[in-house]
Structure formats: C-alpha cells, structure tokens
Amino acid sequence: MNNISPSRTSATADAATASALFRQATAAGRYALDPAELGDLLATLNLTFAPGTVTTRTAPAVEFRVSLNNTREFGMVIGAGLGGPDAELDGGNFRKDRASVYAATELTDAESFLGLFKRTLAYQRLAGIARHDGLPPPDQELKACFAGLLALADAHSPTSPDAEFVLRSLELAATAAGDQIAIAEACCEFGPSQAMRLPRPIHKIDKLIHPASIGIVGVSSSGMNFGRIILRNLLGSGYSKERLTIIRPGETEIDGVRCVESLKALDHKLDLLIVAVAASAVYELVDEIIATDAVESVMLIPGSLGETRASREPAAALAGRINAAHGKPGGGPIFLGANCLGVVSHPGSYDSWFIPLERLPKPQKKPERNSVMLSQSGAFMITRLSQNPWLDPRYMLALGNQTDLTHGDMLGYFAELPEVETLGIYIEGFKDLDGLDFARAVRKAVLKGKQVVVYKSGKTAPGIDGVMGHTASIAGGPMLFDSVVRQAGAIVAEDFNSFDDLFYIAGALHKKKIGGNRLGAISGAGFEAVGMADFTESENFAMKMGELAPATVKQLEDVLLAKKLHALVEVRNPIDINPGADDEAHLQIVEAFLQDPEIDAVVVGLDPTAPSVRALETSKLRPGFDLTDPKSTVHLMPPIVDRCDKPIVGIIDGGTLYDAMAAKLMDQGVCVFRNCARGTKALVRYFEARLNAEGLIKRNR
C-alpha cells in the first residue's frame, strides 16, 4: 500500500469521484455500489480491492475490519476492530476497546483514531506479526487508510450542507501482514441527503434559567395540584410575587400572585411560562404560545406526550410545529420537556420542581456551587441529590422527552458558562443526530477545562423497552455510545453508584493539579492499605504506587518515632500505620507523602474506629476526645487540603456513628468516601479523564 499523508486536508479521497459513482448506481436503480464501483471508490482511497485475496505472504495474515456508518444518533462514525471469525464474538466478551473502537468522524483525525485502534486485539496481532518478521507495525499505512475514510465521511455526512448523497455504510474486511494491506471484502450503501431539524435558539436557555418574569398555566385556586405546588415552591425558593403571573380565567389572584385571563392579556413578554395542565390540553396551548409570541421559553410538565402508542403521532406533529417556529424571525420560543420535573436554578432564585421543599431541602453544601446536573429523569436527580447533597449543583434541569431542547442543546449552552466546572448528565436516548451535537458539546466543555460525567440507561433489552415507555426515547447501542462519548472526552459511568462517585470527585478535585499517575496510600487498617493498591486499575488505565524518596522515608521514620510507632510500622507505600496512630500522625504522614515529588495524589484511610482517632460526635468514655477537639481530623485536615494543590481523598469506612465526621469534613471541601474501593476507583477514573483531557487540549492548541 502506498503511503499518503494522514491529514484530513491532504487525504486523496476524491469526493467528486464518489458522488459520480453514487449517481451512476442511482441511475441503475441502486443505492449500493457494485464490485467494479467499489474498486473505483477504494482506488480513490489508495486501497487495493482484491476480493478473496488474503495476502501474498505465506505466513498467516491478520484479519480486521474498518467501517464508516451513518448512525442515527452520532451521524458518521468510524469503527475498527477484530475481523474474520473473531468479529462474530460479542464485544461483551472483551474489556473495553479490545474488540472494537469507534469515534465520531467529526471529532477525530487519523492519528488519534490510530491511537484508539492500538488498544484493540486486532492491532496487537498486527504488531506481533510485524515484530516476528523484524518489521515495524503498519502504522503509516493504517493512518493513511483512516485519513482517506475520514475525508470520505466529511464529504458525505448527513450534516454536510453540500452533500448530494449521504453515505449510509462502508464496510471493509481487511487483511494485513507487514506493510501489505488488502481489502478482501467490501460493501457500500448510500442514499439521498435528508432535511434536518432547525437549530434551536439555545441562547434563550438564559431566559429559562435566569427568568426576570415567570408565568404559570394550570394553578388550581382551590386544591393543591401540581401547578399549585410549583407556585408554592417558586415562592418558597425566594422568587418574588411581583415577577410572577398566573394565567387563569375568572381569578384575580392566587396565593397573592396576580392572575390574567389569557396569554393575550399579558402586558409584557414572559421570560418563562410553566405549563402544568393535562396532556390533552397541551397541543392547543402550544399552538397559542407560538401564535402569540408571548413567551421566550416554556416548561412542559405533563407526561405521556409521545410515551404511549396513541400519543406518538400527535406528539410528533407537535414537535414539528415547534421546530417550524424556530424558522421564524427571533427563532420562536424554546420548550423544555414534556414529561419534565422542572428546573432548580440557584442563580435564578427559583425552584419549579413539583416536589415539596420539605421532602427535598437544598441547603448549600459548597462554598461556591460550580456544577450542573441534566437529566431526562427527574426522579434520577431527586434520588441522587437526596442521597448525596454534597453534589450541590448550581443548576438542575429535567429534559423529559426532548420535544424541543435536547441533551446536545443543553450541554452546548452550559459548556460555555465559565462559572460551571463539572456537568453530570443522565441520558435515556437521543433525538436524531443529537448524539453528535452532544459529543461536540462534550469536546467543547473538555477543551474549556470542564469535566463531563455521563450515565446512559438502556443497556439491556428490558432496559431499552423501559426507556421507550418512560420518555419516548430511542436507546442506541451501549457499546457505540460508550466508545464515542469517551473519545469525545466524557467520563462514562457504569452504574448509579459510579455516577455519584465520579460526579462528586470531579467537583471536589476540579481545582487540583494532576501531575502524573503515582499514588500514595495510607491507612491504619492493613486490609484498607492493601485494598487501595488493589483498586488502582480501570479497564484502560492504571495508577501505580509511587516510590518514596529517601527524604520522605526519613521524615516518616521521624513521625513514627515521635508517635512511638517505629517498632510496629515499616515505611513503604502503601503504608499500614497501625491502629495506634492518632489524628495528627495520620495527617503528618499525609503531608510527608504530598511533599514527595514522586507522589501525585494521596488516599488516606482516616480510621474512625481506631481508639486513638477523634471520630465520635461525643465520647462518653473520654469526654472531649471527639470532633470538637482542635486536634481532631475535622479541624486539622481541611487546611492541609486547602493549601495543597495535589488531590487528597479521605476514607471513612464505618457505620452511621461516623456520619458526622464525614459530613463535617465534606462541608469544608474535603473529598471523602465511605470505603476505599469506591474512593480509589473513583480517583483512578478521574485521573484517567483529566490526563486524557490534557492530551486533547494539547492536540487542539
């Protein structure tokens, strides 16, 4: 195979030739290329099409596959991985990125995708054969192949405004040995380009989350319906009555808030209208909202729109009318929902959730709220926040079934806000091509120094069925989602617990520096010290135990001698400092580790059950030997965390008796986990994401 430049701009894929071949096939009544046309197409990529040919060498060749596919969620996706009989094996049999890798073509280049491909077993076999023959692996040939395919994808993408035809799929079965690569099988399908949804005027999200005026439709004057609960929550969260308006005929005021007869009776344009009426009444009301142009943003609370078989067609027609309104001057109103819990905006001073405040108080847990949570499921946000109030987002928005605003719209908007540092997102499914918008927004956020933590449901057949019944979403393939979104720069959580852990640690450690992958581990419990070392690997990344410098060893020996632990403890990493170590000993050792240039982060077991540690809220056995003691960890540790730029994770592995210790530390910004497995795993995943983000930033400078 001839070497060609791997850059997108100089790749030899000839868009005009491909279009001519597509026109030729269309004239013959086909949306697929025949063998002769495939040969011509592959020739423009400098690829040799030799059906049935393995290689010219006598030794066994490596079979692998390369593909371009126009996916519903992400548009054009490039994939590569195992070929031949191995390709039939389920990807679930392998660790991540071992069977196949995928990337949105718009967000990768040949060199970056080659880096992904190097993780696969297919590439490792290629490299192994090359080493056996004393040759380098065929990196340049692979890079040239990927560059040509990416250029072809650019020219025939569903998002390309000039594309006459859209590539649906190009599947290549390749064989390789040494520097010889041949295409043994190929198939290519294409189709005419299709009209896309109009872009939403996402700048109006500012009106949604910082409304100067709010209207509500659906407030009962006599009972406590959803509309009335929302009104009470708005008032209870500090939103002033003077900026509220209720649209309800026949009433002059409810709970001290003025009422008007209709949207037409408004004397000013509303920034936000909250719709809390029956689903059957939404269709006519939305048409009125569009016709009057009386509001900038709308929150659709009702469920069942598009979620039942009977409602899917009228809901789709409604979405079409909303989309058409975006083509009018000014872009028309934006709509959040339907099936939407609502919004909590601390900067906007309002809470529109229909959950009474007594059931979900939202006290500030961070000195400065710096995160956003976006979720298709309102209940997901409620349970996450109820169980872990230290997530403490600045904004929380429920997207519901994405009748208008999508995940990509929301993340694209919040990626631009400088006061937002971390974003946690729960996804059930994407609208057409919104996965690509979402991946673009992930990349944008990461390049701006933010972390994006994502959990996507619908990983199994029953889960996919449940997604369709909940928010009328189409759940795509979990492997494709995971690969594309991770390649864009997001941290993808495997389950609810890992979402909580990753979102929390991303917020807690955002301002800390990540120098490398060397860990220091400290505990007075032997199992915990060993456990920290055991949990230093993820599927694609590993931290290692840093080697302590001689000066650090001497410093630790002095601490142990002063604390009369020198005969019991061997200085090493991880270090088991014995249950006899008190609060001060723990933290002096932490500081010694942090000062070591060979240590990039510290995980420390704070040993709450050890008799020498001041971990109780009140001690009956030793009055004053508790959390109130100035020598307790809750007093000594926060200043260390504040002045050190390296990440520190504290572990408090104990029952409810030690909740107060954990809460007091977390309230002061100390990153605390309740067992070493979750804490260390979260730290490792966080380091992997931060180091990956730094690589993306360097490549995009």
The per-residue pLDDT for range 518-533, each reduced to its tens digit, is: 999 999 999 999 999 9
Query: Is 500 a residue whose pLDDT tops 60?
Result: yes
Look at 60-64, 66-70, 516-520, 590-594 and tell me which has the smallest mean pLDDT. 60-64
Predicted local distance difference test score (pLDDT) of residue 274: 97
User: In terms of Cα–Cα distance, which of 606, 605, 603 is closest to 546?
Assistant: 603
- 278: buried, middle or exposed (CB in 10 Å: 19+, 13-18, 0-12)? exposed
Give the pLDDT band of residue 91 (cuts 50, 70, 90). Answer: low
Look at 151-165, 173-187, 550-564 and tell me which has the smallest mean pLDDT. 173-187
CA dihedral 483, 486, 491, 497 (to 10 degrees): -10
Query: Is 7 a residue whose pLDDT tops 70?
Result: no
Predicted local distance difference test score (pLDDT) of residue 496: 95
Predicted local distance difference test score (pLDDT) of residue 656: 96
Predicted local distance difference test score (pLDDT) of residue 263: 97
Query: Is 190 a residue whose pLDDT tops 90?
Result: yes
Give the pLDDT band of residue 85 (cuts 50, 70, 90). Answer: confident
Interhelix angle 15-27/35-44, rounded to 10 degrees, is 170
Q: How high does pLDDT run on average in the chain? A: 91
Q: Which two tokens stand for residue 333?
A: 């109103």
User: In terms of Cα–Cα distance, which of 568, 555, 572 is closest to 520?
Assistant: 572
How far is Cα 168 from Cα 153, in angstroms, rounded to an integer?
10
Query: Is 9 a residue whose pLDDT tops 50?
Result: no
> What's the rounded mean pLDDT across residues 93-111?
92
- Is the model more confident about 95 or about 674? 674
Predicted local distance difference test score (pLDDT) of residue 90: 64
Predicted local distance difference test score (pLDDT) of residue 95: 82
* CATH architecture designation of domain 518-697: 3-Layer(aba) Sandwich (3.40)
Query: Is 59 a residue whose pLDDT tops 60?
Result: no
Predicted local distance difference test score (pLDDT) of residue 490: 97
Predicted local distance difference test score (pLDDT) of residue 470: 47
Query: Is 171 a residue whose pLDDT tops 60?
Result: yes
Predicted local distance difference test score (pLDDT) of residue 478: 79
The verdict on domain 202-508 having CATH code 3.40.50.261 is yes
Q: Which two tokens stand for residue 134?
A: 């004393």
Query: Is 423 a residue whose pLDDT tops 70?
Result: yes
Predicted local distance difference test score (pLDDT) of residue 468: 46
Look at 180-184, 455-459, 468-472, 644-648 and tell me which has the smallest mean pLDDT. 468-472
CATH topology identical between 202-508 and 518-697: yes
Q: Where are the alpha helices (DSSP H) in 448-477?
A: 461-471
- Is the model more confident about 55 or about 435? 435
* Integer angstrom CA distances of residue 212 from 31, 340, 349: 53, 21, 10
Predicted local distance difference test score (pLDDT) of residue 467: 46
Structural domain boundaries of the chain?
15-192, 202-508, 518-697
Tokens 């701006």, located at residue: 448
For the residues of 358-386, what is the DSSP string, one character each? GGS-----SSS--EEEEES-HHHHHHHHH
Residues 683-696 pLDDT 10s: 999 999 999 999 99
Query: Is 557 a residue whose pLDDT tops 90?
Result: yes
Give the right CATH number for 15-192 from 3.40.50.970, 3.40.50.720, 1.10.1740.10, 3.30.470.20. 3.30.470.20
> What's the rounded mean pLDDT across residues 82-100?
80
- Is the model more confident about 5 or about 572? 572
Write the CB contacts of 289 (distance below 8 Å, at least 6 apart in sequence). Answer: 263, 273, 295, 298, 333
Residues 211-231 pLDDT 10s: 999 999 999 999 999 999 999
